[in-house]
Amino acid sequence: MDRGLTQHEVAKIMGVNRNFVYEIELNKRTYTIYALHKSYCFLGYIPTTLNIHENTLAGKMFVHRIVNGYSFEVVAKEIGIDKSTLGRFECGKNLDSISTLKIKTYLNNLCSIFNKNEAIATSIQIVEILIK
């Protein structure tokens, strides 16, 4: 993607130093959740080169973490599992049924909250249209 910006300008927009942008451009940056989140916020999407399968539970969890900038520790604590268990899940490893159930419940709750917020936003838009 070419926006006609210098590395310095991109770094300022992203809130990082110029070396961060340089390393990403040369594919020399380790893709930590911090780097992925900063890149997502700048681009507005998750690069397809990461090969994230958003139709799987593991892909949905990874996207959730990238979009929100959450580390394994933060999400694992919220779910009630160990961070290494969450890491194995995102890598497609099989987990025990209790951990899998906890992760599914967490993701289902996120979807439920998202759908409620989406319904509220739609209702507000309809009301605004009717008022006009």
Per-residue model confidence (pLDDT) at position 115 = 56
Residue 18 CB contacts under 8 Å (≥ 6 apart), including other chains = 7, 8, 11
Per-residue model confidence (pLDDT) at position 113 = 64
CATH of residue 71's domain is 1.10.260.40
Instruction: Write down the pTM of the prediction.
Output: 0.65
- 9 in any annotated domain: no
The residue with tokens 């949905």 is 60
| CB neighbours of residue 30 within 10 Å | 7
What is the number of domains present in the chain?
1
- 112 in any annotated domain: yes
- 52 in any annotated domain: yes
Contacts 24+ apart (CB under 8 A), 11-15: 13/42, 14/38, 14/39, 14/41, 14/42
Q: Using 50, 70 and 90 to split pLDDT, how confident is the model at 127?
A: very low
pLDDT value at 71 more than 80: yes
Q: Considering only 31-35, 97-101, 114-118, 120-124, which range has the smallest mean pLDDT?
A: 120-124
Q: Using 50, 70 and 90 to split pLDDT, how confident is the model at 76?
A: very high
- Per the model's pLDDT, the better-predicted residue between 117 and 70 turns out to be 70
- 59 in any annotated domain: yes
- 23 in any annotated domain: no
